[in-house]
Structure 1
Amino acid sequence: MRVARATNDLAPLRRFYRDGLGFEEISGFENHDGFDGAMMGHPAWPYHLEFTVRHGHYVSGASTPENLLVFYLPDTADWTRAVVRMEAAGFDPVEPANPWWSTHGRTFEDADGYRVVLENRAWVR
């Protein structure tokens, strides 16, 4: 699965997702039909995030603080390491719009206003 979205600047997103969340830049491109892009993820994961800049076009950021990617990290040691890595990279938690996400998690916001929740629970259907 690929989740793709537009941005105006790849650099701060690389820092957030690579340095903060620990993703790798698994692929990318420059000036491909007027687009630059970066794919962030891990070579062994079945999903990744793609961020693209379209030359000459402006995109607005997140329309609401409820635009979330939620990562469930049930192991408390793994979750703590993830939160510490985000904070060490200079990203402070933000107050979630929905207080549910602060019960067992921390919410962080990227440069475009999109949010990532690191949830210290297992997801159960």
Structure 2
Amino acid sequence: MTGIEASTHLRLARPSRDLVAAERFYVGGLGLDVLYRATAGGPGEHDLLMVGRAGAAWHLELVAGPEPTPSEQDLLVLYLDGPVPEELLERLEKAGGRRVSQGPYWDQWGVTVADPDGYRIVLSTRRWHNTPLGAS
């Protein structure tokens, strides 16, 4: 056992200006579930929202308070292994997202949408498997 297994849970945390707008985008638009929600309970504590899929080994934590500073390389890539449904893109736009270019590679292999805070989600048409380099 190395301490980090395939089933080890992953949390990706990001700041958000507006958790209501973030929830509308990630839950109403992208279709994720609210896994946890907390309200500031004391000095130095922030409101937070955790979204993801029930039973998955990952979730996205959105924390209110600090100012988001996304760059073009702050990507959350979701490998759909097929076409990106136009209905999904329409929902994301109605929920506050906007389509953006992510350069030739990602523009060829998916669609990139900026969330209300400016962080980018790539909906990739490709498939991904975690196989270490050199493994056959």
- The counterpart of 2:81, out of the listed 74, 77, 92, is 74
Alignment of structure 1 residues 39-118 onto 2, 5 Å = 39-54=50-65, 58-62=66-70, 64-76=71-83, 79-80=84-85, 82-87=88-93, 89=95, 91-96=97-102, 98-118=103-123
Q: Identity over the aligned pairs, expressed in percent? A: 34
Q: Secondary structure at the match of 1:93?
A: strand
Shift of 1:123: 1.4
Whole-angstrom distance in 2 between the partners of 1:42 and 1:86:
17
Q: Which runs of 5+ in 1 are unaligned?
A: none
Q: Which runs of 5+ in 2 are unaligned?
A: 1-9, 132-136
1:22 equivalent in alignment to 2:31: yes
Shift of 1:36: 0.5
Whole-angstrom distance in 2 between the partners of 1:8 and 1:83:
22
Whole-angstrom distance in 2 between the partners of 1:87 and 1:9:
17
Whole-angstrom distance in 2 between the partners of 1:22 and 1:73:
14
Shift of 1:9: 1.6
Q: 1:31 to 1:19 in 2, by over 3 A?
A: same
Q: Look up the match of 1:123.
A: 128
Q: Look up the match of 2:40.
A: 31
Number of residue equivalences:
118
Q: Secondary structure at the match of 1:31?
A: coil
Higher gyration radius (CA): 2
Comparing both structures, which one devotes a greater share of its residues to helix? 1
- The counterpart of 2:21, out of the listed 12, 24, 47, is 12
Whole-angstrom distance in 2 between the partners of 1:8 and 1:120:
30
Shift of 1:32: 3.0
Name the TM-score, length of structure 2 as normaliser.
0.76
Name the TM-score, length of structure 1 as normaliser.
0.82
Q: Does the 8 Å contact 1:83/1:118 carry over to 2?
A: no
Shift of 1:74: 0.5
RMSD value, Cα: 1.9
Q: Does the 8 Å contact 1:27/1:38 carry over to 2?
A: yes
Shift of 1:45: 1.2
Q: 1:35 to 1:113 in 2, by over 3 A?
A: same
Shift of 1:61: 2.6
Whole-angstrom distance in 2 between the partners of 1:18 and 1:40:
7
